[in-house]
């Protein structure tokens, strides 16, 4: 509907192959592509805010978690930018 929506993405929802840099890795999680598709499917919702949590760079020497998290944050900001002006 048109109710306000706040999205909090815990990066450990991604499989450790896509985001090993978290304190609580979840085997069998989503791929980064699947998460981005879910987020893009929220276009048109009344998004009022969002965050990305649980990124622990010290656990990820290849820095792929930070890349995935930054792309998720970019898509969230893009969704916010696409909001229609309520005026």
pLDDT, tens digit, 9 for 90 and up, residues 66-85: 999 999 999 999 999 998 76
Q: What stretch of H or E contains 70? A: helix 64-81
Q: Domain of 28?
A: 4-81
Residue 58 lies in a domain: yes
pLDDT at 73: 98
Report the distance separating Cα 14 and Cα 47, nearest Å.
Answer: 22
Residue 11 lies in a domain: yes
Residue 86 lies in a domain: no
Report the distance separating Cα 48 and Cα 53, nearest Å.
Answer: 17
Residue 87 lies in a domain: no
Residue 8 lies in a domain: yes
**Domain count across the chain:** 1
> For the chain, what is the mean pLDDT?
93
Q: How confident is the model at residue 50 (pLDDT cuts 50, 70, 90)?
A: very high
* Farthest-apart Cα atoms in the chain, separation: 46
Other beta carbons within 10 angstroms of residue 23's beta carbon come to: 11
Residue 60 pLDDT > 90: yes
Residue 18 lies in a domain: yes
Query: Which tokens belong to 46?
Result: 């009344």
């Amino acid at each position: 509907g048109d109710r306000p929506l706040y999205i909090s993405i815990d990066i450990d929802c991604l499989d450790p192959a896509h985001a090993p840099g978290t304190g609580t890795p979840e085997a069998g999680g989503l791929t980064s592509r699947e998460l981005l598709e879910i987020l893009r499917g929220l276009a048109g919702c009344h998004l009022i805010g969002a965050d990305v949590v649980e990124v622990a760079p010290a656990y990820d020497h290849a820095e792929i978690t930070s890349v995935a998290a930054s792309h998720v944050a970019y898509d969230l900001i893009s969704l916010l930018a696409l909001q229609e002006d309520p005026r």
